[in-house]
Amino acid sequence: MNRETRLLITKTVITSQFALIWLALALGSAYTYGLFTDNLALEAATRLPAFVIMNILFGYLFVFYLISIGYLIGRRIWWKLGHKPTEIQPELKQRLLNLGEHVRMQMAPITKVRFLVGRMSYNAFTTKKGIIVGEKILRDLSDIEVEGIIAHEIAHVVNGDRWKKGLGLGVGSALVIVILGVFSFTRSSAILAGTLWCLFVFLGIPLNWKIEYDADLKAARYLGFEVIAKSLEKLQPNVYGGISFSHPLLTKRIMRLRAMNSKLPAA
């Protein structure tokens, strides 16, 4: 799949998710308002459309989840059948390890971090296993640019961001299940739980964005604002840089770093 197609698919998926969740939240809120204010006309007018949109939304998310899992399982089977792509070059692994350790010693010398190369990827992220840096980043970016990317991920580790996000997801899911149970799995309970879930997702956006800005800031304190801005700039043509539930606009992050840099007192 070429770069344009990949970016277009990502953009379509994210935009459709935003649109569906907005619509579900609007209809669900109108229905909930009608229900709790005994506005029977509003409640009756919005019950069916709200129920339908919730079903479309959760059906869509379920199918999306199944496709993602199916893709991962399918890929694994494909590899087992002997189509495994060529091994990641040891030089790349070693380069990541050297640069990663260099940054870790500056930012978090007592924190244990594993560094792994992500196959065919142009992304960097943190998982339970450690910090994954895409193979393509390691091929295209200079040492200092890769270090900028790693510094942002180390900031996530140090700030405990994976736990924060996990906790948010856990609390949100628990609330939805409790509401479904309290209202005994009726049509109303499905709309209320769906509405609350949508609200939760939207309220989570500024928190997720703050987590990203904070990680940029922490990384910049160690490596310099311009270094982190340049690293992000280098990713720009190859990754989805639009707004998403988890990340602010990439251009905004770069501008913010540059703005902070210009406010620093001259050395």
Interacting residue ranges for Zn ion, rule: CB under 5 A: 212, 215
CB 123 → Zn ion: shortest distance, Å?
Answer: 10
CB 112 → Zn ion: shortest distance, Å?
Answer: 20
- Judged by beta carbon, residue 96 or residue 151, the one nearer Zn ion is 151
- Judged by beta carbon, residue 16 or residue 236, the one nearer Zn ion is 236
- Cα–Cα dist 167/99, whole Å: 31
Q: Is the dihedral of CA 5, 129, 137, 245 positive or negative?
A: positive
- Judged by beta carbon, residue 150 or residue 198, the one nearer Zn ion is 150
- Judged by beta carbon, residue 145 or residue 212, the one nearer Zn ion is 212
- Collapsing DSSP to helix, strand or coil, 115 comes out as strand
**Torsion angle in degrees (nearest 10) through CA of 147, 153, 155, 158:** -120
Q: What number of other Cβ atoms are within 10 A of residue 246's Cβ?
A: 14
CB 209 → Zn ion: shortest distance, Å?
Answer: 10
Q: Tokens 């270094």 identify what position? A: 227
- Judged by beta carbon, residue 57 or residue 235, the one nearer Zn ion is 235
Q: Tokens 């928190």 identify what position? A: 207
- Judged by beta carbon, residue 43 or residue 212, the one nearer Zn ion is 212
For residue 98, the Cα-to-chain-centroid distance in whole angstroms is 27
Q: What are phi and psi of 80, to 5 degrees?
A: -60, -30
- Cα–Cα dist 249/94, whole Å: 32
Residue type, 162: R
CB 153 → Zn ion: shortest distance, Å?
Answer: 7
CB 210 → Zn ion: shortest distance, Å?
Answer: 11
- Collapsing DSSP to helix, strand or coil, 131 comes out as strand
CB 162 → Zn ion: shortest distance, Å?
Answer: 11
Q: What number of other Cβ atoms are within 10 A of residue 144's Cβ?
A: 13
